Structure 1
Amino acid sequence: MAAGAAARSVADMTLQLGVILPTSSPDPEQPILGDVRAAARFAEAAGLESVWSTDHLVASAPILDSTVVLATAAAVTDRVRIGYGVLLLALRPVAWAAKQIGALQYVSENRLLLGVGTGNPAHGDVGWRAAGASFADRGQRTDEALRLLPDLVAGKPVTLTDGTELALSPGATMPPILVAGDGPRARRRAAEYADGWITIGASPTRIAASARELTTLAEGFRRTTPTITVVVPPLSTVPAQAADQLAEYATAGAERVILAPSPAGWEASYEFAAELQQSL
């Protein structure tokens, strides 16, 4: 497929392109900590759809607090969406998480995308123990939080699992929920509670298969099929070839692709994303 045809195919599928802010890295030897304000402004000026922040208390590499990062990005931009990529709900009391989510919706004027995950075991359980949260029960606690979160964010009266009754004020618009995870339980969680599903590095073939599975699962819950976001897909470094690959992802059913900053510096990665954005 020619690059021009690829661009038309992607445009027809309205694929969205986002970038991860320079806040952390899986490699502790090469932490990616850059100017969040400059990165967010660059992404907005380039026409990218969204900027994202990773989340953890103690990870395998230095990491900034995700809510502070997203609030900073929101403060220096007007259009670009801000996303948790992804928030570990079970690491926090759900009411506190709801308070932060509602505040971010307010300061960003409803630009938040709420990615939710249960945590990568590769980071270990130190952060969970430090927060006084159960690592073993994180999946169950995530489900419980997802059930309560919409009413908590909206400011409606809620009874927590321990019997505490409360209503947060002010209420806010509940942002779209995107559940992350590559296992069957994560896809089921996305179909049951979320507006979207996030996967890491999956191929277009795998995306197409997952889209069919999500449709079947969502029908069982009488819900709309979740959209699909692909984080760090294996794209060519040649823009024309990467545009063709993005077209394949769009055709397979992906709504959004999120690119990561390079250990060599976020600027080059963002410039590449900006070049791809021109083909959408």
Structure 2
Amino acid sequence: MNVGITLPAIGSPGAFAKHVEEVGLESVWTGDHLISVAPKLDSTLLLAQAAATTSRLRLGFGVLILALRPVAWAAKQITTLQLLSGDRVLLGVGTGGVVHGDAAWRAVGMPFAERGPRTYAALAALPDLVAGRSTQVDGEQITLAPGGTMPPVLIGGGLPAMRRVVHHGYGWYPAFLPPATLADGVRELTERAGRKPAVTAQVAMALGDLPTEQVDAQVRMLTGYGMTEEYARQSMLTGGPEQAGEQLAALFAAGADRVVGLPFGGDNLQQAELLAEATEHARS
């Protein structure tokens, strides 16, 4: 059972990642926003600092908004992270949802309506760019050096993202799905592709004795993604390590190969410790 946790958006990601490694979790992850409601550091640099303070943790983009960057620069950053970390990168990729608006896209001169096609065009070029092979980008033949290892690709999104997962053989990175919904998605993907995809499921988490109002506030935030309150509560990890362990076990039984917790309340270091305890309960 591979279980990871999301890095704090600000603060000291290196120290947090070191703690995560020490308590026995498998990976750290970061979202990717140019413009966000709350302060948010650059995702690539966050993972670079996490790489510098750890030796075995996997380093995940959950998810990289690839089309916000020129693909050659994105490839350079990904290759650098792979080389600096010893090939520990997990590359979640998303197109950017409407819930976050289009301000970032206008700021970089990228049409919001073209984010989907541009994302998958970039994904097609990325493996050769990362590997240091000659690649055509916008009519220019280029070769990046040094080359590195292309990391596993996980397509972020709900059930509509499954078409890309099936067609290209990528993994799937769904967020905020209750176990029953996740199981339906994995079953459909397996039927379409003739194989079970690699699945990394992100869940919101509030472990321990957090105030009810904190949990309720997170539920209200999740309803902004179009889900009902009941659905939002079913998709969260809550309670003590034993209860959360049962919830983790249900997600793995539904087809997840990895679960990534997104803390939204309490002390982040303690949340990592409680998640590690919950993982042990899920294994027993």
Q: Is the 8 A contact 1:18 1:256 kept in 2?
A: yes
Which aligned pairs between 1:129-278 and structure 2 lie closer than 5 A? Answer: 129-160=106-137, 162-184=138-160, 186-219=161-194, 224-232=195-203, 233-278=235-280
Match in the other structure for 1:77: 54
**CA distance in structure 2 between the partners assigned to 1:158 and 1:225 by the alignment:** 31
Q: Secondary structure at the residue paired with 1:236?
A: strand
Q: CA deviation at 1:194?
A: 4.7
Could you tell me which amino acid in structure 1 is paired with residue 202 of structure 2? V
Q: CA deviation at 1:37?
A: 1.3
Match of 2:8 among 16, 22, 25: 22
Could you tell me which amino acid in structure 2 is paired with residue 217 of structure 1? R
Q: CA deviation at 1:214?
A: 1.2
Q: Secondary structure at the residue paired with 2:19?
A: helix
Q: Is 1:116 the equivalent of 2:93?
A: yes
Q: Is the 8 A contact 1:260 1:269 kept in 2?
A: no
Match in the other structure for 1:102: 79
| Of 195-204 and 260-269, the range deviating more from structure 2 | 260-269
**CA distance in structure 2 between the partners assigned to 1:76 and 1:183 by the alignment:** 36
Q: CA deviation at 1:242?
A: 1.4
In structure 1, list runs of 5 or more residues that go unmatched. 1-14, 24-32
- Aligned positions, number: 251
**CA distance in structure 2 between the partners assigned to 1:143 and 1:129 by the alignment:** 20
Match of 2:30 among 47, 53, 68: 53
**CA distance in structure 2 between the partners assigned to 1:194 and 1:154 by the alignment:** 19
**CA distance in structure 2 between the partners assigned to 1:136 and 1:183 by the alignment:** 20
Q: Is the 8 A contact 2:241 2:275 kept in 1?
A: no
Identity level (%): 49
**CA distance in structure 2 between the partners assigned to 1:79 and 1:218 by the alignment:** 32
Q: Is the 8 A contact 1:261 1:269 kept in 2?
A: yes
Superposed CA deviations along residues 146-190 of structure 1, whole A, max 9, x for unmatched, are 111111111111112x21111111110110001100141x11112
**CA distance in structure 1 between the partners assigned to 2:19 and 2:74 by the alignment:** 28
Q: Is 1:68 the equivalent of 2:56?
A: no
Q: Secondary structure at the residue paired with 2:239?
A: coil
Could you tell me which amino acid in structure 2 is paired with residue 255 of structure 1? D
In structure 2, list runs of 5 or more residues that go unmatched. 204-234
Match of 2:68 among 78, 81, 91: 91
Q: Is the 8 A contact 1:179 1:194 kept in 2?
A: no
Q: Is the 8 A contact 1:47 1:277 kept in 2?
A: no
Q: Secondary structure at the residue paired with 1:260?
A: strand
Structure with greater contact order relative to length (CA < 8 Å, sep ≥ 6): 1
**CA distance in structure 2 between the partners assigned to 1:131 and 1:65 by the alignment:** 15
Q: CA deviation at 1:132?
A: 1.6
Change (3 A) 1:166 1:80: same
**How high is the TM-score relative to the length of structure 1?**
0.86
